[in-house]
Structures are given as C-alpha cells and as structure tokens.
C-alpha cells in the first residue's frame, strides 16, 4: 500500500495542512507508478524523481 501527501500547498491550505515529505510510488503488474496531486504537478522534480526511480507512469489527481 502506498500513501502520498501533497507536497506543494496553496496558501489557504498551509493554515490547515502540513506538506508531505515523501514521494508516492507503487508497482502493479511489473510497472512502476509515481503519484502527484494538484499543484505538485507544476514542479517537474516530482515526475523526474519518479522516472529516475524507474517509474513508467505518473498518475495525477
């Protein structure tokens, strides 16, 4: 099981939530996936780190 917490919070979210500190990844059927949520996907480092770790698919919510 994988848990992923949004890393880049909008200003209004910062009053209520803390940013996640780890990238989310999992493997299914021999394929590695990386995860991203909302504004995290505006930062190329997130999918880039996944690709460097062998992820072939970046799932975005």
Instruction: Quick: pLDDT tens for 1-55.
Output: 788 999 999 999 999 999 999 999 999 999 999 999 998 989 999 999 999 999 9
Evaluated on CA atoms 22, 24, 27, 31, the torsion sign reads: negative
Residues 6+ apart with CB under 8 A from 51: 34, 58
Q: Are 17 and 39 in contact (CB under 8 A)?
A: no
Confidence at residue 25, expressed as pLDDT on a 0 to 100 scale: 96
Confidence at residue 53, expressed as pLDDT on a 0 to 100 scale: 97
Dihedral of the CA atoms 11, 15, 16, 20 (nearest 10)? Answer: 60
CA 1 to chain centre: 14
């Amino acid at each position: 099981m994988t848990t992923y917490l949004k890393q880049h919070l909008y200003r209004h979210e910062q009053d209520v939530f803390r940013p996640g500190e780890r990238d989310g990844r999992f493997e299914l059927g021999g394929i590695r996936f990386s995860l991203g949520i909302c504004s995290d996907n505006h930062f190329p480092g997130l999918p880039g780190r996944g690709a460097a770790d062998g992820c072939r698919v970046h799932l975005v919510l």
